[in-house]
Chain A
Amino acid sequence: MTVEIKWPWQYNFPPFFTIQPNLETRKKQLEAWKTLILNYFKQTNQYILDLSDISNLELFNNSSISRSLNRDDVILILDFLTRSENAEAIDKNKNRWYIYWHSLREWAHIIYSWAQKTNRTNSVLTFYEIRSTPNEEFTELNEEILSKALQLLESQEKAEIILLQDTCGVKIF
C-alpha cells in the first residue's frame, strides 16, 4: 500500500505511545488513537489487524521519535474501539481483529441504501458482485464483514442470504 497517510500531531508526540495514567487524559488519548486507527484502515482499505504484525506496522511504530506501542496497549485501545462497535476480536486470544471503520450497522445501512438507490432490490446479487461494484465505500470490502453486515440486514428482514455450493448470494428486499 502506498497511500500517503496524514499523521495527526499526536503521532509525533512521544507520550502518545504510552497509555496515560490520568483518566481524563487517557480518555482523550484513546479517542485520538481511535480516530487515527480508523482513518489508517480506511485509507489503506484494510479490515483485519493481526497483532503478530504490529511491530512492522508504521501505525504503531514511529521510528522518527523512536516510539512504539506494545501489544498489551494495542489490545487496550482495541477494547476501547470494541465498545463503540468499531472493532471485534476474531479469536479468543485477541490475536486477530476486525477493524470496522464503519460499524456493522453502518455497513448494513450503506449497502441497503445503495441497493435501493440503484434499484437492486428484489433481485439476487452475489457477494462478489457487491464487492466488485466500483467507486462505492464497500468496494473490495472484506467478505466476512460483508457477510456480517448482510446477516444484520437479514435479522431486520431486509435481506435474505442464499448459500449455493459454498458461494453466497443475497436478495435484498
Chain B
Amino acid sequence: MGIFFSKRKKISRITDHDKTILELKIQRDNLKKYQLRIEAILENDRNLAKRLLTEGKKDRAKLLLRKKRFQEQLLEQTDGQLENLEKLTQDLEFAQIEIKVVEGLKIGNIALKKINDTLNIQNIEQILEETREGVEKQNEINDLISGVLNDNDEQAIELELSQLIDQNSEILELPEIPNEEPATDQLKKEIKEKTKKSILVEV
C-alpha cells in the first residue's frame, strides 16, 4: 500500500542560476515600484506647488520645488541602477544560452568523433590495398589468357581471315547484264522453228 501513498518524487527543474536571476528580477521589481512611488509623489508635489502659487505662498512653493528636484535626482539614480540590474540579468540569461551552445557543440563533436572512428585511415588504406590487389589479379588473368597464343598462331589466324575475305568476294562475282533488247513474239517463234529444224536435222 505504501506505493499508493508515497508522493511521487519530483525532480526540481529550478537551478541555482534560475534563483540568482529571480533574485535580480525581484530587486528590479522593487526599484520599479520605488520609481512609481516617487513619480506619484512628484505629481502630487507639482500640483501642490501650483496651488501654493495661486494662493500667493511663493516661499513654500519654492521649498516644495526644491524637494521635488531632489526626488527627481533620486529617480535618475534609480534609473541608472535599474539599467545595471537589467543588463546583469540579461548577461546571466545569455550566459545560460552560451552554456547550451557549448553543450551542443560538445555533442556534435562526440558524434563526429564516432563517425571518424569507423572511418579511420588504417581501414581506408586496407580497403585501397585490397582494391589494388584485385586489379592486379585481374591483369594477370588477362595476361595469362592472351599469353597462351604464340606468333605462329597469330599468323594462322591472319591467313584464315584473308581466306574468308577471298571466299566472300567470289560469291559476289555475278554474270554481266545483257545489252540486247529482249526478243519479240515473232522472233521467238522463228527461233523455236529454227531450233526444231536443227533438232530434226540432228536426228
Interface residues of A (CB under 8 A from B): 123-126, 128-129, 132, 160, 162, 164-165, 167, 169, 171, 173
Contact = CB atoms under 8 A, between A and B. Distances in A.
Nearest to B17: A124
B9 interface: no
26 contacts: A123-B21, A124-B25, A126-B26, A128-B29, A128-B32, A128-B33, A129-B25, A129-B29, A132-B32, A160-B12, A160-B13, A162-B14, A162-B18, A162-B19, A164-B19, A164-B26, A165-B23, A165-B26, A167-B26, A167-B29, A169-B22, A169-B25, A171-B13, A171-B14, A171-B18, A173-B13
B39 interface: no
Given A123-B93, A126-B29, A164 B13 contact: no
B23 A160 contact: no
A143 to B, nearest CB: 12
Interface string B131-147: 00000000000000000
Interface residues of B, number: 14
Interface of B: 12-14, 18-19, 21-23, 25-26, 29, 32-33, 93
A173 B13 CA distance: 9
B185 to A, nearest CB: 112
A77 B19 CA distance: 43
Contacts of B19: 162, 164
A167 B28 CA distance: 12
Contacts of A125: 25
B26 A169 contact: yes
A112 to B, nearest CB: 15
Contacts of B21: 123-124
A162 B21 CA distance: 11
A164 B14 contact: no
Contacts of B18: 124, 162, 171
B158 to A, nearest CB: 87
B29 A164 contact: no
